Structure 1
Amino acid sequence: MQETKDKPSFSKRAEERKERVLTKKESSITRGISKAIVIKDGNPFFLSEPDGSVPMDRAHGFGLYYHDCRFLSGYELKLADVKPGALASSAERGFRAHFELTNPDIRMENGKLIAKEQIGVEWMRTIDSDRLALHDVFSFHNFGLEQVEFPLSLTFRAEFEDIFVVRGLLREALGTLHPPSWQDDVLYFLYDGKDGLHRSLTIDFSPVPESRDGTTAHFQIALEPRETRQLMVSLFIAESSNRSDVRPQAHPQPELKRIEESLDRSAEEWLSKYTEIHGDSLILDRAVERSLRDLRILGSSIANEGFFAAGVPWFATLFGRDSLVTALQTLAYDPQIAEHTLRLLAQYQGQHVDEWRDEQPGKILHELRVGELARLGEIPQTPYYGTVDATPLFLILVGQHAAWTGDLTVFHDLRDHIERALTWIARYGDENGDGYVEYYGKSEKGLINQGWKDSGDAIVNTDGSLATPPIALVEVQGYVYRAKLALADLYQRAGEPERANQLRQEAEDLRARFNRDFWLEDKGFYALALQADQRPAAVLSSNPGQALWTGIADPDKAQRTVEALMGDDMFNGWGIRTLSEKERRYNPIGYHLGTVWPHDNSIIAAGFRCYGFDDAACRIFHGIVEAARHFDAYRLPELFAGFTREKYGIPVRYPVACHPQAWAAGSIPFLIETLLGLVPEAFEHRLRIVRPILPDFINQLEVRRLRVGKASADLRFVRTSEGRVSPNVLKIDGDLDVVVEPEISTAPAALHSGQPSGGS
Structure 2
Amino acid sequence: MAKSKQEASAAGKPRETGRANEAARSAREEERARETPEARQERKQRVLTQGQPAIVGSIADAVSVKNLNLFYVAAPDGQLPLKGDHGFGLYLNDCRFLCGYEMTIAGVAPLPLASTAERGFRALFELTNPDLHLDGNKLIPNEELGIRWERILDADQAAAHEILTFRNFGQDACDLPVTLRFNAGFEDVFNVRELLLEVPGNPDPPAWRDGKLQFVYHGADRIRRKVTIQFSPAPDSTEETAATFRINVPARDASAISVTIACSEQAEDEEPERRMPQLSTRVNDLIGSLRKDSKRWMGQHTKMQSDSLLLNSVVDRSLRDLGMLRSQLQGEQYFAAGVPWFVALFGRDSLIVALEMLAFKPDIATQTLRLLARYQGERVDGWRDEQPGKILHELRVGELAGTGEIPHTPFYGTVDATPLFLLLLGRLSAWTGDLALFHELRDPVEHALAWIDEYGDISGQGYVEYQCASEKGLVNQGWKDSGDAIVRADGTLATPPIALVEVQGYVYAAKYSIADLYERAGEPERASELRREADALRTRFNRDFWCEEDGIFVLALEAEGRQAAVVSSNPGQALWTGIADEEKAHRTVARLLKDDMFSGWGVRTLSTEERRYNPVGYHLGTVWPHDNALLAAGFRRYREDAAALKIFTATTEAAMHFRHHRLPEAMAGFRREDFRVPVHYPVACHPQAWAAGAVPLLLTTCLGLEPDAFAGKLRIVRPRLPDFVDRIELRDLHVGQGTADLEFRRTANGAAVDVLRTTAQLDVDVEE
User: Is the shorter-chain TM-score for this pair beyond 0.5, marking a shared fold?
Assistant: yes
Question: Hey, what's the Cα distance between the residues in 1 that align with 2:673 and 2:154?
Answer: 43
User: Is 1:611 matched with 2:644?
Assistant: no
Retained in 2: the 8 A contact 1:188–1:248? no
Retained in 1: the 8 A contact 2:575–2:631? yes
Q: Which of these residues, 279, 289, 305, is aligned with residue 332 of structure 2?
A: 305
Question: Hey, what's the Cα distance between the residues in 1 that align with 2:639 and 2:727?
Answer: 22
Q: What's the CA shift string for 1:412-451, capped at 9, x where partnerless? A: 1111110110000000000221000000001000000000
User: Is 1:488 matched with 2:515?
Assistant: yes
User: Is 1:132 matched with 2:158?
Assistant: yes
Tell me the residue number matched to 1:503. Answer: 530
Retained in 2: the 8 A contact 1:200–1:247? no
Distance 1:542 1:256, change over 3 A: same
Distance 1:645 1:246, change over 3 A: farther
Tell me the residue number matched to 1:747. Answer: none
Tell me the residue number matched to 2:711. Answer: 684
Question: Hey, what's the Cα distance between the residues in 1 that align with 2:194 and 2:42?
Answer: 10
Tell me the residue number matched to 1:285. Answer: 312
Question: Hey, what's the Cα distance between the residues in 2 that align with 1:217 and 1:288?
Answer: 43
Greater mean deviation of Cα atoms: 188-197 or 217-226: 217-226
Question: Hey, what's the Cα distance between the residues in 2 that align with 1:479 and 1:304?
Answer: 29
Greater mean deviation of Cα atoms: 201-210 or 722-731: 722-731
User: Is 1:65 matched with 2:115?
Assistant: no
Tell me the residue number matched to 2:322. Answer: 295
Question: Hey, what's the Cα distance between the residues in 1 that align with 2:271 and 2:343?
Answer: 25
Tell me the residue number matched to 1:725. Answer: 751
Question: Hey, what's the Cα distance between the residues in 1 that align with 2:178 and 2:186?
Answer: 26
Report deviation, 1:267: 1.1
Tell me the residue number matched to 2:761. Answer: 735
The aligned amino acid for 2:445 is: I
User: Is 1:707 matched with 2:734?
Assistant: yes
Question: Hey, what's the Cα distance between the residues in 1 that align with 2:144 and 2:397?
Answer: 47
The aligned amino acid for 1:78 is: T
What pairs up with 1:404-443 in 2 under 5 angstroms? 404-443=431-470
Retained in 2: the 8 A contact 1:479–1:550? yes
Retained in 2: the 8 A contact 1:321–1:389? yes
Report deviation, 1:7: 10
Tell me the residue number matched to 1:152. Answer: 178
Report deviation, 1:58: 3.8
The aligned amino acid for 1:643 is: F
Tell me the residue number matched to 1:101. Answer: 127
Question: Hey, what's the Cα distance between the residues in 2 that align with 1:332 and 1:6?
Answer: 49
Retained in 1: the 8 A contact 2:187–2:199? no
Question: Hey, what's the Cα distance between the residues in 1 that align with 2:33 and 2:210?
Answer: 48
Question: Hey, what's the Cα distance between the residues in 2 that align with 1:713 and 1:439?
Answer: 43
What pairs up with 1:197-596 in 2 under 5 angstroms? 197-242=223-268, 245-254=271-280, 255-596=282-623
Tell me the residue number matched to 2:650. Answer: 623
Question: Hey, what's the Cα distance between the residues in 1 that align with 2:271 and 2:692?
Answer: 37
Retained in 1: the 8 A contact 2:159–2:277? no
Name the SS for the 2:231 alignment partner.
strand
Greater mean deviation of Cα atoms: 5-14 or 219-228: 5-14
Q: Which of these residues, 31, 42, 50, is aligned with residue 16 of structure 1?
A: 42
Retained in 1: the 8 A contact 2:384–2:408? yes
Retained in 1: the 8 A contact 2:259–2:279? no
Retained in 2: the 8 A contact 1:357–1:385? yes
Report deviation, 1:150: 2.4
User: Is 1:36 matched with 2:59?
Assistant: no
The aligned amino acid for 2:90 is: L
The aligned amino acid for 1:325 is: I
Report deviation, 1:735: 1.9
Question: Hey, what's the Cα distance between the residues in 2 that align with 1:667 and 1:561?
Answer: 21
Distance 1:6 1:641, change over 3 A: closer
Retained in 2: the 8 A contact 1:200–1:246? no
Report deviation, 1:623: 0.6
Retained in 1: the 8 A contact 2:161–2:279? no
The aligned amino acid for 1:282 is: L
Question: Hey, what's the Cα distance between the residues in 2 that align with 1:20 and 1:289?
Answer: 39
Q: Which of these residues, 672, 692, 697, is aligned with residue 645 of structure 1?
A: 672
Q: Which of these residues, 156, 163, 179, is aligned with residue 205 of structure 2?
A: 179
Retained in 2: the 8 A contact 1:142–1:226? yes
Provide the TM-score with structure 2 as the length reference.
0.95
Q: Which of these residues, 26, 33, 38, is aligned with residue 52 of structure 2?
A: 26
Name the SS for the 1:225 alignment partner.
coil
Question: Hey, what's the Cα distance between the residues in 1 that align with 2:583 and 2:322?
Answer: 37
Q: How many residues align?
A: 737
Question: Hey, what's the Cα distance between the residues in 1 that align with 2:323 and 2:269?
Answer: 33
Tell me the residue number matched to 1:75. Answer: 101
Q: Which of these residues, 169, 176, 186, is aligned with residue 195 of structure 2?
A: 169
Tell me the residue number matched to 1:751. Answer: none
Retained in 2: the 8 A contact 1:239–1:246? no
Tell me the residue number matched to 2:697. Answer: 670
Name the SS for the 2:153 alignment partner.
strand
Name the SS for the 1:54 alignment partner.
coil
Provide the TM-score with structure 1 as the length reference.
0.96
Tell me the residue number matched to 2:24. Answer: none
Question: Hey, what's the Cα distance between the residues in 1 that align with 2:122 and 2:199?
Answer: 36
Question: Hey, what's the Cα distance between the residues in 2 that align with 1:206 and 1:244?
Answer: 29
Question: Hey, what's the Cα distance between the residues in 2 that align with 1:577 and 1:438?
Answer: 24
Question: Hey, what's the Cα distance between the residues in 2 that align with 1:216 and 1:482?
Answer: 58
Q: What's the CA shift string for 1:92-123, capped at 9, x where partnerless? A: 11000011000001122432221000011011
Report deviation, 1:8: 7.4
Name the SS for the 2:136 alignment partner.
coil
Name the SS for the 2:707 alignment partner.
strand
Report deviation, 1:56: 0.5
Tell me the residue number matched to 1:602. Answer: 629
